[in-house]
Every structure is written in structure tokens, then in C-alpha cells.
Amino acid sequence: MSTPMSTPLKDGYQTGLPYPAYFHRELTPGWLAATVTALGHRTPPLSGPYTWCELGCGPGLTTLIAAAGNPAGTFYGVDFDAAAIAHARALAAESGLSNAHFLQMSFAELVEADGNPLPLLDFVVLHGVLSWISAANRQAVMRIIEGRLKPGGIACLAYMSQPGSAPMMAMQRVLQRSAELAGVAPGLDSGLSLLRGLRDGGAGQFAVVPELGRQLDQVVRHTPGYLAHEFLGEHWEPLHVADMLKAAGSAGCSFLGSATPLENIDAVSLPGGTQAAIGAIADTALRETAKDIARNQTLRRDIYQRGPQPLSLAEHRAVIEAQRMRALPGAPPQGALRFDTRIGPVDGPAEMFSPLLQALADGEAKRFGDLLQLPAYRNGRGGLLNQACQMLYWAGHLHPCAGTTPDPTTAQALNRVILRAVANGGDYPALAAPAIASGIPADRDMLLAAQAWLNPASASEDAASGEAAARMTRFMREALPAWQRLGVLPQVP
């Protein structure tokens, strides 16, 4: 009989491998403010001082990018992992990012600390962590929200959800047990091999739940560090929205909607045959549960407010018309679009999207109120424009942006640090984009080309190789002009 090998756990949470750097646009203050406004509620103002905190920040990339693009805010990242916090602090110090602060504390320690190290907060956010921690730690998160979130403040809680993630529970146990038997990295390899063999051999669960095979394909593309944190904890659990609504309610928070804009539009996020039945449900918990069933939801990004602050119709129209947006690199210039959603492909007609895309094709920011003057959206068709904007936000073609663009110096300093780290083998998937007060995704080739463009004298010896030359050509054509408009890079190296 084999002897199980221990996996490094702290309070049931896997700590043996570092968690990779990720950026979640949905957690940034500008994205949340735009989404909450679209949902018809007042948000904390972003023009003056405000406070934002990410619980379970890992190595801090989301916190750092948010801070770099939002100099009016003060940003806090909290994680119990000493190495992750040290990494985040080092990046902040090297970038000269003075409005980002990192605390190495568990959620329980944060609740119990004398002289709470966090100020009162306008935003509390987290992504994924709730599904990986114990019930006691989930309760601690709610106590933090209850004790530190200001009246009118926004909480964004993202977590693996029922029913879409439920079929992965057996997969998680295979990976967890394999890691116990062989160690973390070898166990992940052997566990994934076993699961692929079962799928390819016609195992019943994969036959009954075809999406599980697609989920496995997604899982194997991730790094061991991600998989260890995602799947090897003792408390791994897809959560029910009704339970989360109850827990948030106990912390004084009310559900507003989703930070995934498409999910706030029933007409394009729910199967047509379910819309009437779901629309007739008055109870929020029951309605959201029915939506999760209709979408086979795997991940929720819930937005809550500490005391709802609905806007009047006149106020709502005024703040919507004042909102500004930009097209992002790679946005289609015009034409009909197809959106790949949880319920399958959704076709967007050219007459709905082309006027908006054409108006934004120059990369400059435009006011919603000005876009309403386009013939396609006049005469009471502002709702059509709003729906088009929300769908294009979700698809990554547009992004809301603040009224004024901050000085890009700090964001560019952070980006230089990130680019140097990538050139030295680091793995970062995004850069700060101050013109949208957020970040933009970037693949490794584009990041390496950007570093070579900024520092041609120190480029690696393969700078003249065919691969490097092709990479630079693509960067100059596809990325550089847009990145400069967004403040990601300076106008000259």
C-alpha cells in the first residue's frame, strides 16, 4: 500500500506553489461604477478620494494596475501568503506606486485585529477565493464587509457557482488525492492524465455532461500554481447564489446585479424559452437560482451595495449620458457580430453595432450622450445603444473610462517594471492602461516586443532573429499605436 504524501496546507488552503499573477477588470473601480450606474444605482464618486480593497489579492497584479490607473483612490491588497505579499510590495516600491498598500493577514486576523489596519472602504472585491476557503473564513469575509464597507459602498464577490461547476467536484477530488499520493506537481500531472484517459475512454460522467470535457481542456492549459490553489484545498466548493445572497444580506448588503454586463441583459443571456418564467419571479434568490440553472452558471461575479441607492429616472439618464467609453485594441470596425455566451452563440445585427463601432474606431473617448445623436440611436432608441455598449464591454471591444485621463507616468512606471520582469522570465498577462483607469490583456510576445521597443540597447541577443523581428513587426502594427493612445506606453521610448 502506498503512503500518502502531505500537501502543504494552511487552514485547509494549498500553499505549496505560488499563485500566478492575474488581472480581473471586473474588480476595478471604474468598471464597477459604470456597471452599477447602468443598473440604475448611485456609486461612490471616483473624482475625489476613495478607498478600495481586494481580499485574497495573491501577488497583487489587479490591485497594482487599479492603483496605477486611479491616482485619486487608495488601494489595499490583503493575503495571508507572505511570498505573494512580498512580491506585490516589491512591485509597488519599484514602480513608485504610493497609493497601493499590501497587508499580510488572514481574514480571521483582519477581523480580530486591534485598531483595524483597514480604513472604511468604498469598494471591497475578491475573485474566486470564496470557493476555496472554509465556511469560517467565508464568514470572516462577510464580517470584514459588515465592519469596513461604508454605507453606499460596493462589494464585488466572484466565486465558482452551482450548478455549472458542480460536475467538477469529482475532478477536484481526483486532483486532490493524486497530489496527496505523489506531491503537488507530480500529482497534478498524474491526476490530469488519469482524467484525460477517463474522458477519452468514454467514462460515463463525461458522456452525460459533455461540458466537463471542455472544462478539463481549459484546466490543463493552466500552470501548476494556478491548479494547486484552484483545486487542492480541503474546502473546495461551488457555491449556491441563494446562500451568498443570504450571507451578504447578513452583512447589510443588497444584490444589484452582475459585474459581467451581459448577464444583466436577460434577452441575450437566458435561453428564450426561459425568459418569461424567470422574469415573473419576484424573489431575488429564487430568480437568480433559476438564472444559474438556465445558464448552467460556472462563475458568478455578484455586485452588492451597503444600502441600495437607486437613481431617479432623471438622475439615471444624466449619469448614463455623461459616461465615456473607448474602443480597445482589436475591436471590430463595423459589421454584424457573434457573441459566444453561456447559452451559445448570440448574433448581433450590424444595424445595432456598426454605428457605435464606427464612431469609436479612431480610438478616442466618446460620451454616451454624444453617441445618442447618431441616427441609429435617436428617437427613443437609447436603450439599444446602452445594450450594445454593455455587450461590447463584456466582449472586450469597448471599455468605460473616466471623465479625465490621469497622468500616465505612474502607470507607465509600473508597466516598465512588469516588462522587465517578463523579459527575465516572469509571467504577467496585463499592463496598466490609465486612459481607461484599468488594464489591458497582453500576450507574452507583445510584452517582449514592448520591452525591446522601450530598451533597444539592452534587447536580448536574439533581437535580430526572424522570430524577434516578426514579433516586433506585429507589435508595431497591432499594439503600439493603441497602447500609446491608452497611456500604456510613452510616445517615444
Q: How far apart (Å, rounded) are the C-alpha atoms in residues 202 and 438?
A: 44
| pLDDT higher at 1 or 205 | 205
Average pLDDT estimate for 17-37: 95
| Closest residue by Cα to residue 144 from 166, 171, 126 | 126
27 and 110 part of one domain: yes
47 and 95 part of one domain: yes
**Residue 402, pLDDT score:** 78
| Closest residue by Cα to residue 81 from 148, 13, 168, 34 | 13
On whether residue 320 sits in a domain, the answer given is: no
On whether residue 213 sits in a domain, the answer given is: yes
458 and 342 part of one domain: no
**Residue 7, pLDDT score:** 62
DSSP letter string over 237-302?
-PBPHHHHHHHHHHTTEEEEEESSGGGG-HHHHS-HHHHHHHHT---HHHHHHHHHHHHT-SEEEE
- Domain final position from 210, 231, 252: 231
Q: How far apart (Å, rounded) are the C-alpha atoms in residues 114 and 378?
A: 57
On whether residue 400 sits in a domain, the answer given is: no
DSSP letter string over 197-225?
HHHHTT-HHHHH-HHHHHHHHHHTTS-HH
On whether residue 20 sits in a domain, the answer given is: yes
On whether residue 52 sits in a domain, the answer given is: yes
210 and 262 part of one domain: no
What the block records as the C-alpha cell of 61 is 497584479
376: DSSP letter: G
124 and 270 part of one domain: yes
227 and 366 part of one domain: no
| Closest residue by Cα to residue 439 from 20, 16, 30 | 30
76 and 52 part of one domain: yes
On whether residue 491 sits in a domain, the answer given is: no
On whether residue 318 sits in a domain, the answer given is: no
pTM of the model: 0.94
Residue 182, domain extent: 167-231
- pLDDT single digits (tens) 363-410: 899 999 999 999 999 988 899 999 999 999 999 999 999 777 789 999
59 and 206 part of one domain: no
CATH number at residue 52: 3.40.50.150
- Domain final position from 345, 360, 395: 395
φ/ψ bin of 372: left (φ > 0), alpha (ψ from -120 to 50), beta (otherwise)? alpha
**Residue 459, pLDDT score:** 61
Handedness of CA 188, 190, 194, 197 (dihedral sign): positive
94 and 147 part of one domain: yes
- Is the pLDDT at 2 greater than 50? The verdict is no
116 and 205 part of one domain: no
pLDDT band for position 114 (50/70/90)? confident
- pLDDT single digits (tens) 190-242: 999 999 999 999 999 999 999 999 999 999 999 998 999 889 989 999 999 99
How many independent structural domains does the chain possess?
Answer: 4
158 and 178 part of one domain: no
pLDDT band for position 3 (50/70/90)? very low
367 and 420 part of one domain: no
- pLDDT single digits (tens) 297-322: 999 999 999 999 999 999 999 999 99
On whether residue 8 sits in a domain, the answer given is: no
